[in-house]
Amino acid sequence: MTLTVPTRKPPTTAADPVFSVSGLWKVFGPKPERIPADPELATLPPAELRARTGCTAAVRDVSFDVRKGEVFVVMGLSGSGKSTLVRCLTRLIEPTAGTISIDGEDVRAMDRGRLRELRRHRAAMVFQHFGLLPHRTVLDNVAYGLEIQGVGRSERRERAAEFVAKVGLEGMEKRRPGQLSGGQRQRVGLARALAVDPEVLLFDEPFSALDPLIRRDMQDEVTRLHREEGRTMVFITHDLAEALKLGDRIALMRDGQVVQLGTPEEIVGNPADDYVREFVRDVPREQVMTCRTAMRPLSSQDAETGPAIRPEATVAEAIEAVARAGQPARVMDDGRCMGVVDHEHLLGVVAGVSVPPAGSRAAGAAPVPEEAAPVQRGPATPPGPRATPEAV
């Protein structure tokens, strides 16, 4: 797996939730309400639940917050419940049980008018097939969402032109969707969603139909827009590399449940169970783990000199700095030395083993494996995408 993860942002710490979801269920099938209400049925494995009740629990007792300004990725294999979960947020699918709020307002209590307002102004969905209007120009397609909102013609054309430029389509305003490539059409859809200035953008696998190069371009575009605008985004994907690249936090789903919710670094560095461990086993750890995790405390034997590196720099960047300098790097935050990254600890992160702090063990002693069982790196059948051997 090749990952082009830029230096990570510091983790989002703002507690402000935009969406707040608690105990959410969506059950498809006859008399769905009885499933969450009955402790015995609620805990049946999916196949048994289907056999006994004819129901599928697409979302099972899920709770999470989406924080202001973060990219929150919902990730999982096909059928794990990602689309159902995200559609429940704006009630494009009606939840069976649980609570959802946006900025503290109860979404399940909203009437039709309020729901329409929610979907048009506050939480716009960007679909895989953008549904562009074929007979309208690029500019008019982008202006369409504003037209629905009742914005006047000259203002909406002005705003649309601004967003056409923002997604890199300047000069193509007069073309029709049929005269654009797949990637350009995606950009039009993105501009249309951005133009209505929603508080949250919900992306449903928007790039999965694109070829890999255009896909990478679009991922970079989303990263850039997010950096420039700080807009809250919920992003569905089944692609682990995409999740790690875009997500501030990732909710990893399996059979309707969130099996782990955390930063990419938490998920790769500290998988919650064997399923997650298997999922992330081929991730190039040095591109996800940061100096914050790899550093050891400063010791009295450390030299006063050496390169300085930020805590959120990736281990890959630290390896380069340490290799160039030929000595450990100091992890600096606001002029303060938080610790040191040396070649031993950096290698420990890459190998997936934890190395005790300098001075706490005899020289030459072996590093301590993270798990009791030896770390296995041989081929297996992971549930997620495979890495190419040369990329690992």
Which residues bind to ligand ATP, rule: CB under 6 A? 28, 56, 58, 76, 78-84, 238
Which residue lies nearer to ligand ATP by CB, 62 or 193?
Answer: 62
User: In angstroms, what is the minimal distance from the CB of 262 to ligand ATP?
Assistant: 19
Q: Is 114 helix (H, G, I), strand (E, B) or coil?
A: helix
Given the complex with ligand ATP, which of 56 and 263 has the nearer CB atom?
56
Tokens of 391: 């990329």
Question: What SS3 state is found at 112?
Answer: helix
Provide the CA 392 distance to its chain's centre, in angstroms.
Answer: 21
Residue 54 or 297: the one with the smaller Cβ distance to ligand ATP is 54
Neighbouring C-beta atoms of residue 164, cutoff 10 Å: 25
Helix locations, the chain, DSSP H: 34-37, 39-42, 46-53, 82-89, 112-117, 138-148, 153-166, 182-195, 212-229, 240-246, 264-269, 274-280, 291-294, 315-325, 343-351
CB of 201 to ligand ATP, least distance (A): 18
Cα–Cα distance, 288 to 309 (Å, whole number): 16
Establish how many alpha carbons lie within 13 A of residue 46's alpha carbon, considering only the half-sphere containing its beta carbon.
14
Q: Which of 62, 63, 69, 87 is nearest to 18 (CA)?
A: 69
CB of 76 to ligand ATP, least distance (A): 5
Q: Which is nearer to ligand ATP, 28 or 130 (CB)?
A: 28
**Distance of closest approach, residue 82 Cβ to ligand ATP, in angstroms:** 4
Q: Which is nearer to ligand ATP, 78 or 300 (CB)?
A: 78
Provide, rounded to whole angstroms, the least separation between the CB of residue 77 and ligand ATP. 7
Q: How many residues does the chain have?
A: 392
Closest-CA residue to 82 (of 206, 252, 272):
252
- Which residue, 78 or 154, is less far from ligand ATP as judged by CB? 78
- Rounded to a whole number of angstroms, the CA Rg of the chain reads 24
Strand partners, 75: 237, 252
Q: Minimal distance in Å, beta carbon 30 to ligand ATP?
A: 11
Nearer to ligand ATP by Cβ, of 63 and 305: the residue is: 63
Measured distance CA(267)–CA(64) in Å, rounded: 16
Minimum separation from the CB atom of position 255 to ligand ATP (A): 8
Judged by beta carbon, residue 27 or residue 319, the one nearer ligand ATP is 27
Q: With respect to ligand ATP, which residue has the nearer C-beta, 62 or 318? A: 62
CB of 127 to ligand ATP, least distance (A): 12
Closest CA to 187 of 136, 130, 137: 130
Place of tokens 């990329």: 391
Residue 252, both tokens: 């990893």
Query: CA dist 262 to 22, 269, 351, 375, Å?
Result: 17, 10, 21, 23
Shortest distance, position 128 Cβ to ligand ATP, whole Å: 9
